[in-house]
Amino acid sequence: MSGPVRQPGCENLREQPLRGYAVCTLPRSGSNYFCDVLGTTGVLGYPKEYFNGDARRLYDDPSYPDGRHQQVERILTMGRTPNGIYGLKTFPGLHDLVAPHLRWTKVLPRLSFVRFRRRDVLGQAISWVRAAQTHQFRMSDPVRGEPAYDAEAIALRVRQICQRGARWDMFFARTGLPFIEITYEDFLADPSAAAARVGDLLGLDERPMVRLERSIFRVQRDGSNAQWRARFLDEHGDADRMDAFAV
C-alpha cells in the first residue's frame, strides 16, 4: 500500500475535495477525441493516459516522469480542472504496468469509472492496423508509412479488442464497482449528452458546456476504411464459423 500522495505546488487543493474518474477503454476506440472534448468543458478534468510516460513526453511534457507515484501527482494536478475534478484514461495493459507498484484505484480520491467502448469493433480494428502502419495515431502526427490492406493484421486486432474488452467486463463484474458506459457512436451523435452523463456521475450542479472547436482531435477514417471493411467481410465473414478463445 502506498503512502499519502503529495500535491506539489497545489496547496489550495486542500480547500476543496478532489473527485475524479477513470475512462476505462481500449486503443483506437475514439477515446482520445472523447477525453479531449471532456477537457474543453473546463469542469471535467483533463483525462489523458497519465500512466503512459512515453505518450506524455511526446505530446505534452518532455520531462514527464515514469515513476508511478509521480504520475499520480500529475493526475491530481495536470489532470485537474479548477473545480477539483480530475480525470485519467487507462487500458488493461496500463493497469498491468501500474499494479505491481501502486494501488491506483485506492490512491486516487473519490474515483468513479466511465467505460468507453466502440460498438463497431471491425472499424476499430481497421483503424488500429492503419495507425500502426502509418504511425499516425492522431491527425497532427506525421505520416511515416503507407497503409496496406492486411487481413491477418485486422483479424488479430479484432481478437485483441474482444479479449481486452472482456478484461474490463471481468474487472467490473469481479469488483462490483459502479460505472457508466458511453459508446463512441453515441458520443459522436451527441457530445453534449455524453459530457452531461459524466457530469451527472460526478455530481455537477450545472450541465457541462462542450466546446468542440477547442478540440485538437478529428475523425481520421477515409474512404479506404470502407473498402478494407468490405474486402475483409467478403473474405472472412463466414457466419457458419464461430470463433473460440483459449480459456
> How many structural domains are present in the chain?
1
pLDDT at position 3, please?
37
Which whole number is the average pLDDT over 163-177?
A: 98
For residue 114, give its domain range. 18-236
Is 211 a domain residue?
Answer: yes
User: Hey, is 70 helix, strand or coil?
Assistant: helix
Rounded to a whole number of angstroms, the distance between the first and last alpha carbons of the chain is 31
Is 245 a domain residue?
Answer: no
CATH (domain of 80)? 3.40.50.300
Name the band, by pLDDT with cuts 50, 70 and 90, for residue 17. Answer: confident
To the question of pTM greater than 0.85 for the whole model, the response is yes
Is 10 a domain residue?
Answer: no
Is 8 a domain residue?
Answer: no
Name the band, by pLDDT with cuts 50, 70 and 90, for residue 220. Answer: low
Give 22-63 pLDDT, tens digit per residue: 999 999 999 999 999 999 999 999 999 999 999 999 999 999
Is 12 a domain residue?
Answer: no
Is 6 a domain residue?
Answer: no
Is 73 a domain residue?
Answer: yes
Cα–Cα distance for residue pair 6/41, rounded to 1 Å: 26
Is 9 a domain residue?
Answer: no
Q: For 137-172, give one letter per residue: b (16+ CB within 10 A) or e.
A: beeeeeeeeebebbeebbbebbeebeeebebbeebb
pLDDT at position 221, please?
65
